[in-house]
Structure 1
Amino acid sequence: MFDYLEAEKERADQERREILIDYNGVKLHLKAHGGNGYRFVASGGQDGATWSFKKPNTKDKWGIRLSFGSYFMAVHGLGRAKAHVEAVLERLGIQHGPDDISISRADFCVDLLAPGFVLKPDQFVMHSAAGRRDHVTDTEKSVNGKSGRTTSVTIGSSRNRQAIVYDKRAEVIAHSKSYWWGIWNHTLAQIGPDRPLLSPDPAQADANRVIRVEFRAGKDLLKDTWGIRTWAQLFDRFGDLCRQSGQVIRYTQPVPGDSNRARWPDHPLWDAACEAMNDDLAEMRSGADPNPLKAVQREDHINMLFRNVLGTSITLGALMGVGFDDLPATLADLAKRMRAELAKNPDKTAKQLQAAKERYVFIGETDATLQAR
């Protein structure tokens, strides 16, 4: 496997791009570079994990690092993540026992529909040694006439215990993570079929506010405090860890006339997040079908690329000095020139087409393909 990855990495470096590799049925996007002490870095897409591999060394038993994103966890759940790891390692020919796994970080997130919610950093109660970082943005100033809105608050450190509360709706829009609308609306439909669906419409920002409450357990908290290292220990103890995090860090509701924040009751948002944590963390997932979510991503890419092609074509027309009435003929002429370029360089075009297909292979696969992999 190392020899295979070494040869493919060299090809990725020569082509100066991520390349699609297939090792015994395991498809990954291999980067042309390593990082953080790992020789190879590869991604299985949103329905897989990000894998990092070291060069084999008998003195270093920890040769692989992997992580799952929130999309995988929301759609598939923790149990599926464990099964995916074991299936991929088997395909790669890598043998391991239960003590050969060391979990270095685990996050638990709850997305809450909170119309009109205003995040106020001073309403957090935590240990005096825990640091707090606030992020303020004015991205909605043009829509709501507001500026200086706090969109996220982070409590604690990444190596130990950390809690983050932030405007997930704004983050989804800023980073074009359109699949979250499908996940959220699937959940809303399960709650009640008559509920209005969420949308990225700026005019609905306040009514569609989605706040994410996220608890992160870093290496020190997992291993040193809770003795969590293996899968079995994670399944057994992580729920208790999260429950404790919701108690030692709190977002509260002020009590008029009482300046002691420690006596303030928990905010309804915090109560809802902690209530979700009391459910079965091991298999909590949205239940949304990943195939329609992939279709949404494909459609978004197609629409974005079409707008880019159209905008570039109009710009070319402007540089060529054509008028509005002449644009249709100009676009037709551009299409003829493109066809001529394809005819002149068929090999180059075929390579470009194949590279594009490889780049988007994971949003073109169905869930059945993932199961087979």
Structure 2
Amino acid sequence: MQVVHRGFDTIALSIQANISQELFDLLSSERDRAEEERHSVPFSYGGADFDLLPHGGNGYRFILKGGPLDVTWFFKKPNARDPWGIRVSVGSTLLATQGLGYARSYIDKTLTRLGIRFESHQVSISRADFCVDILAPEFELVPENFVIHSHTNRADYLTAQDDIRSNGKSGQFTSVTVGKMPGRQVIIYDKRREVIDKKKPIWWDIWNANLERYDLPPLDSSDPSSSRVWRVEVRAGKDLLKDRWQIRTWPQFDAMFGDVIAEALKKIRYCKPDLDDGNRARWSNHEIWDLVVGSSDDDLLEMRSHIDATSVKHVHRAEQIRLISTQIAGLGITLAALEDTQESELGNYMDSVGGKLAENIRADPERAANKLHEAKNRYRFIS
């Protein structure tokens, strides 16, 4: 077994501030356009670039995304009676490649560009997920091997032994979740399967970058027998952070979050069953759990894979090109079938499709130019 990544996976926080009336008016105008066109539209303000979604949600009027680094911004309509008008959710890509320190700086700089001022005590952290990825091709997940100590009670935001959800595929368990949000959850799941199923190729680069630091060979993504990666993830929701640990601000988070993780991994354990001992609390940790505990003992705040933002964009662009090329080929073959093309004629037919597309562009160059401009805007973060 080998640790191939460790770090934060999600950070969510609220800001006790509101956007300006000027920014609200601009966002309202652009959201109307997004609703009319039924897709996200590019939005820039103060040197910050976003994609503005055509809808809001969860009480927020505007939702904006900041490109492939996976940061989402939520803004309410300015209201003096509701001062907590901003929410920020930082996803795994930015945290894994750039680190938490970069994410915090990025949030502060972006809000400054938007003209939003706030003090450190006006930040309220509502969720933080920490994960450890372990290369363990031969590991088999057994839900019954989880041990939750009997003295645990509701004040610890842990649930009863029967609150364990399991998912399996092909006769094997691929994930087990213990606990509930917004309290505490501990999860083990097959991260390799998720990366493939949800098309997240950047994780192969993250894992391989970390393996390279230990002079270990890269993973062969096509071979599950040598590239199976399991993730152990601790999710701390607002009830756990605020009610039990009194963690709201960044200084409190810096001082105590390591203890939050240590307690979670002590109170919820994945163990090696001892058939001679009926007291599950005395079972020893499985090797994979000891690796996770050891990986979370030191400073958690600046872990990253040292992949730069340009590399992240390159991977996203390459994946989009691959997906769209596959779609084009599939549509061309479907069109050939509808026009009763024979297999021996398929190559020539596809050449002719390219000619027909060129004719369409020449027939209406203005429309084609507008479509090209729209596509460039849609993919501007990775182009």
TM-score by length of 2: 0.88
Query: Are 1:160 and 2:191 matched, yes or no?
Result: no
**1:347–1:14 CA distance, 2 compared to 1 (3 A):** farther
Equivalent in the alignment of 1:18: 40
Equivalent in the alignment of 1:200: 221
The whole-number CA distance in structure 2 between the counterparts of 1:325 and 1:125 is 62
The whole-number CA distance in structure 1 between the counterparts of 2:214 and 2:163 is 34
More strand by share: 2
The whole-number CA distance in structure 1 between the counterparts of 2:329 and 2:211 is 36
Which whole-Å deviations, capped at 9, do the CAs of 1:7-66 have from their partners, x for residues lacking one?
A: 110111111101111111111111000001100011112325100100000000100111
The whole-number CA distance in structure 2 between the counterparts of 1:82 and 1:227 is 20
Which whole-Å deviations, capped at 9, do the CAs of 1:270-309 have from their partners, x for residues lacking one?
A: 1111111112111111222332332222122212211221
The whole-number CA distance in structure 1 between the counterparts of 2:54 and 2:261 is 38
Note the 1:145-184 alignment, pairs <5 A. Answer: 147-184=170-207
Equivalent in the alignment of 2:347: 328
**1:286–1:132 CA distance, 2 compared to 1 (3 A):** farther
Which whole-Å deviations, capped at 9, do the CAs of 1:115-174 have from their partners, x for residues lacking one?
A: 200011111111453453333332xxxxxxxx2211111111111111111110010010
- The 8 Å contact of residues 220 and 227 in structure 2, kept in 1 or not, is answered as yes
Aligned residues: CA RMSD = 1.5
Equivalent in the alignment of 2:117: 95
- 211-220 vs 342-351, greater mean Cα deviation: 342-351
1:210 to 221, 225, 229: 229
The whole-number CA distance in structure 2 between the counterparts of 1:239 and 1:262 is 23
- 169-178 vs 205-214, greater mean Cα deviation: 205-214
- Specify the SS of the correspondent of 1:152: strand
1:342 to 352, 361, 382: 361
- 224-233 vs 304-313, greater mean Cα deviation: 304-313
Note the 1:16-95 alignment, pairs <5 A. Answer: 16-47=38-69, 49-95=71-117
Equivalent in the alignment of 1:135: 166
1:222 to 241, 246, 251: 241
Equivalent in the alignment of 1:314: 333
The whole-number CA distance in structure 2 between the counterparts of 1:183 and 1:104 is 26
- Specify the SS of the correspondent of 2:376: helix
Equivalent in the alignment of 2:317: 298
Query: Are 1:361 and 2:383 matched, yes or no?
Result: no
- The 8 Å contact of residues 64 and 74 in structure 2, kept in 1 or not, is answered as yes
Unaligned runs of 5+ in 2: 1-22, 151-158
How far the C-alpha of 1:259 sits from its partner, in A, is 2.2
The whole-number CA distance in structure 1 between the counterparts of 2:137 and 2:298 is 24
Which whole-Å deviations, capped at 9, do the CAs of 1:76-95 have from their partners, x for residues lacking one?
A: 11111110111001000001
Equivalent in the alignment of 1:371: none
How far the C-alpha of 1:336 sits from its partner, in A, is 2.0
**1:358–1:127 CA distance, 2 compared to 1 (3 A):** farther
Which whole-Å deviations, capped at 9, do the CAs of 1:327-362 have from their partners, x for residues lacking one?
A: 233223222221121122223222222222222222
The whole-number CA distance in structure 2 between the counterparts of 1:107 and 1:87 is 23
- The 8 Å contact of residues 192 and 230 in structure 2, kept in 1 or not, is answered as yes
More helix by share: 1
- The 8 Å contact of residues 136 and 148 in structure 1, kept in 2 or not, is answered as no
Equivalent in the alignment of 1:268: 287
- Count of paired positions: 352
The whole-number CA distance in structure 2 between the counterparts of 1:46 and 1:307 is 21
Equivalent in the alignment of 1:112: 134
- The 8 Å contact of residues 68 and 312 in structure 2, kept in 1 or not, is answered as no
The whole-number CA distance in structure 1 between the counterparts of 2:349 and 2:183 is 61
Q: Percent identity?
A: 45
